[in-house]
Structure 1
């Protein structure tokens, strides 16, 4: 253990949030040069384009860190360069909840993955994403797509059956922090929530947990499917063409995890033929979503451009999480949200 920790802030943060970080853990020596980073705001996770001289300054700065708040340039390439150049680096916390994918993209040698602890900001975005999941399930059950289409036609459409929450089952696929928060909110409204997860976990509001191998069976009985999965090789296209072939007719699909977890062409087909009645999508297989994607013009689809997790408070929550992890590191305690060095989440 050491008495102090030199932390280079590699992402833009409001000064008030960094002040709070220092207050919570005064043993950190924060180094922050905001001119090398773009102004904090909605796009705070994106890297700034720097002139060569600025880039050299930025790299020299992160190479002096014991710990980094934010992976350099939020990229595997930037992280790999820094890890190779900075032998004193011992901890990196990404500002992304799914920051394990940055670590995976860096293709670090075993020595580096043993020397450095990587943590993510999982949990910082859970509440707004859970609210979007709730919105998507409600919108699907309340036939938002049908109502919107009729409204655009100026048509007083026939009355619709809109099932009560207590008569609907929602499958929440992935019970990490986002999935658990989604399940809790859905259950509080009266939905029957079934979890799909690779192991048994404590999840408030979940009536039972089924293994991932039974996803198709669960989908056949669910009125809505909420995907809250990380993007890993194991989850790629988990909502597959085969699973979509078995969904309950007219089911709602909500994705607040990663776009790679859905077979997007198969989902489009399912929306076109009515197997899926409604979709609320925050993420896509490729972002930005291509301008010629059929999803744009479907009245039964709500598109959020990877913005459902933005509520304006996430930098403060990330800073508070970092302060807690810094305390744990300095006191020799286990850190929160440690990235698995093999599965990268």
Structure 2
């Protein structure tokens, strides 16, 4: 069995591979160190470029299974990729813990006025007469109650929050007070103090947080996006923030990344911007390799793989 492995982790994986495995290394530009025409397994690494992916597809016509290290795979499902009969598995769950912790950080920063407190410290100014609130008894709506959404819910529930969620196939879930279908979350916006976007980017979700949705949110509501920037209509969001339709937003992802220096979002006082880093963790590599090796064992045994992507649904 021949495998295509990223140069970043090939040596880490070698001691754990079956004895008959033959490894072809690939760099982040898609350059291979040997012949991959009969390779059937491909592990891609973080920040996969479509140009590199397409080089691998051309070089490996017999690929049968591709393990990605991202939960979102919209950048992988290109027309060229969809022409091939390749089983794609994603890394759902690998980044859930650090992202969930980041979401709680965003909510606490908003509730406890951390930006203002940092400013006061820099100014060496002792001021106490401003609004600080609690997360206790607040309501969070998590749009996308998958692996990441469920990790967020467990932490929010520990803070005493009411937790609502949505998913494609609604069902009761631990730590959620209510789970609704993909379109029903709109009717919960009027109750939400925090709205967290944790849904995959698909043709259905692209631009779904538009002016109408932002108008429907409470003026005191806070929007958090740790999914994909294009799920949000950025022009509408800027207007909503400038005109105080909502209280503010925390954005770990934006429409154009890196965020252009001239973007109005940089200077809005009610926006917390982070550089798409909520999933970063020193344990991401360990979890990614563990998932790949588990799926490799399943693949060799002919067992169902974990995290198989529905290419029609986009996740």
Query: How does the TM-score come out when normalised to structure 1?
Result: 0.82
Q: Secondary structure at the match of 1:7?
A: strand
CA distance in 2, matches of 1:28, 1:207: 50
Cα distance change of structure 1 residues 327 and 201 upon mapping to structure 2, 3 Å threshold: farther
CA distance in 2, matches of 1:293, 1:151: 27
CA distance in 1, matches of 2:150, 2:163: 10
Q: What displacement does 1:307 show?
A: 1.1
- Number of aligned positions between the proteins: 315
CA distance in 2, matches of 1:238, 1:216: 10
Aligned mate of 1:235, from 205, 213, 230: 205
Aligned mate of 1:6, from 2, 17, 38: 2
Q: Secondary structure at the match of 1:226?
A: strand
Q: What displacement does 1:293 show?
A: 0.9
Q: What displacement does 1:310 show?
A: 0.7
CA distance in 2, matches of 1:227, 1:211: 15
CA distance in 1, matches of 2:161, 2:7: 39
- Residue 97, structure 1, aligned to residue 71, structure 2: yes
User: Higher helix share goes to which structure?
Assistant: 1
Q: Secondary structure at the match of 1:133?
A: helix
CA distance in 2, matches of 1:63, 1:71: 20
CA distance in 1, matches of 2:51, 2:171: 34
Counterpart mapping for 1:141-290 below 5 A: 141-147=111-117, 157=127, 159-290=129-260
CA distance in 2, matches of 1:214, 1:150: 42
Q: What displacement does 1:63 show?
A: 3.5
| Aligned residue in 2 for 1:26 | 18
Q: C-alpha root-mean-square deviation of aligned residues, in Å?
A: 2.6
Aligned mate of 1:75, from 49, 68, 83: 49
CA distance in 2, matches of 1:270, 1:73: 31
Does structure 2 conserve the Cα–Cα contact (< 8 Å) formed by 1:195 and 1:209? yes
Does structure 2 conserve the Cα–Cα contact (< 8 Å) formed by 1:62 and 1:68? no
Counterpart mapping for 1:38-117 below 5 A: 47-48=28-29, 55=31, 58=32, 60-70=34-44, 74-104=48-78, 106-109=80-83, 112-113=84-85, 116-117=86-87
Structure 2: unaligned runs, 5 residues or longer:
none
Does structure 1 conserve the Cα–Cα contact (< 8 Å) formed by 2:113 and 2:132? yes
Structure 1: unaligned runs, 5 residues or longer:
38-46
Aligned mate of 1:328, from 293, 298, 302: 298
Q: What displacement does 1:28 show?
A: 6.7
- Residue 139, structure 1, aligned to residue 109, structure 2: yes
Query: Which structure is higher in RCO with an 8 Å CA cutoff and minimum separation 6?
Result: 1
Q: What displacement does 1:263 show?
A: 1.1
